[in-house]
Amino acid sequence: MYFVLIGTVIIIVFIVYIYKKDVDDEEKEEFEDSVKNELVQPEKSKEIILYFNTDLVKISFYSLDLFKYYGAKNIYKKIVVEKLYIDEPFHTSLVKLLQIFDKTQSWIKSKNTKEIRLKIRKKNGNFEEGTSFKVYSISEIIVDFLDNILEYFNRNLYSKEDQKNIILAALVWKIDLVEELKYIWIENLSDTGLREYLGKKILKHQDVNYDVFRILRMIENKHVNVQFVFKVYDNTLCSQQEYPYVSKGKEEYKKFNIDNLPNKNMKQLMSIDDVSVY
Amino acid sequence: MDEIIDVYEENKIIVSGVILNYDKNIKLLRGFEQNSISKKRYMRNVVIMIGDEFITSNIADTMLFKEELVLFNYGDKQNKYLFPSSRTIEKESVSSLSITLGDGSVIHISRSEAKAMVGLWNMSLQGYSFTRLLEFEKEQTLETWTVALENNGYLQLDKPE
């Protein structure tokens, strides 16, 4: 008797279990389907049509024949052609300054040079005196200086306007090294005054934008924000090539008197205001 | 006819210096040319340099400088470079040769120093023929000397020599 009872109970429990399991599975599947339907809602991707300005833009550069050496040509390519800094007051004034530094033959004395005083007797018995030492070429210094400044801009973020103004200010900062420009030197100007005078003569179209001269004044006063300029300049001096040079006494550049010139065309050529002719 | 022809051989000068006196920094600079085929050296110029200044510039002046050293006391006011003078060191009057340089400094040379310098002069020119020096002494200009000094490292600061 007991066995039969226990057996029926077990069978009933088993049947109930199986039934319940089936129901659970069905519910599960239904729930999963509903969730899937909710999640997966395939949408058609929208087509976006962008309209670019495809009009032809004409960009005019200066001819590279303006420059004598490949250094200045490369700098022009790097600044103007690659970076597309072709805003007009900047473009022409950069070319003017580059031309001046490209064609100059002035020098500064090297740091590791000895000065040897020579006194040599010629065959006719006269003496010739001079001192020999080693010099750096200024055009090479300026080209390397600009190259290193551009490299610095690549590593540090500066805005486009700041880059342009710093480049111009750095060039004007070193313009008093150019000996040939001293024929327009009026009376005794201080270093800062001379720079400002020459700078305003050359950057005459830049007058609207005084930022160049503001940065120039920051460089002259050794402001904290432009300390990198000095570091870059010192680094360029370390890796310059030295050339032997003899100086026979002091070389003076006489100021040219324009009024005495007979020809009108010559007067125009030598006129002070148009430095770009130089 | 394989032959190395150096176009710029004429202008290449090998400068070698002999220090005659360390304290006064007196040097004898000899300018050589080298034949690239026979590897022989010919002396073309002999010059005396004191400090950073050239005193003489050709063989005739250099011989004069040497003879003034040799004569020492017997020289007089006709001398060109070295003048006999007397000065007192510790209350004792001594005779010496004096020369004033371009920057105003005066250098005194004692008798023993003069003798040593002459000895070194003789030693430094042994073994070289003087015929080429006398016949074809190179007429130098300021520019050629500058290039020669630069090529041989005399314009470099702090050269260990």
Residue of chain A minimizing CA distance to B58: A121
pTM over 0.95: no
Residue of chain B minimizing CA distance to A133: B155
Mutate to test the interface with B, among A132, A243, A248 (most CBs of B within 10 A): A132
Query: Structure tokens of B55?
Result: 């005193």
In this prediction, residue A266 carries a pLDDT of: 62
pLDDT tens digits for range B132-142: 888 877 777 88
Calpha distance B40→B33 (Å, rounded): 8
Calpha distance B144→B151 (Å, rounded): 11
Q: Are A104 and A179 in contact (CB under 8 A)?
A: yes
- Across the interface, whether the CB atoms of A114 and B147 are under 8 A apart is answered no
Q: Are B86 and B73 in contact (CB under 8 A)?
A: no
Name the residue among B161, B156, B154 with its Cα closest to residue B15: B154
pLDDT tens digits for range A143-194: 999 999 999 999 988 999 889 989 999 999 998 888 877 766 656 677 778 8
Give chain A positions within 8 Å (CB) of B158: 112
Establish, for the pair of chains A and B, how many residue pairs have beta carbons separated by less than 8 Å: 66
| Mean pLDDT, range A212-218, rounded to an integer | 88
Q: How far is B38 from chain A (nearest CA, A)?
A: 30
How many other C-beta atoms can be found within 10 angstroms of the C-beta atom of residue A88? 8
Give chain A positions within 8 Å (CB) of B140: 120
Q: Look up the ipTM and state it.
A: 0.84
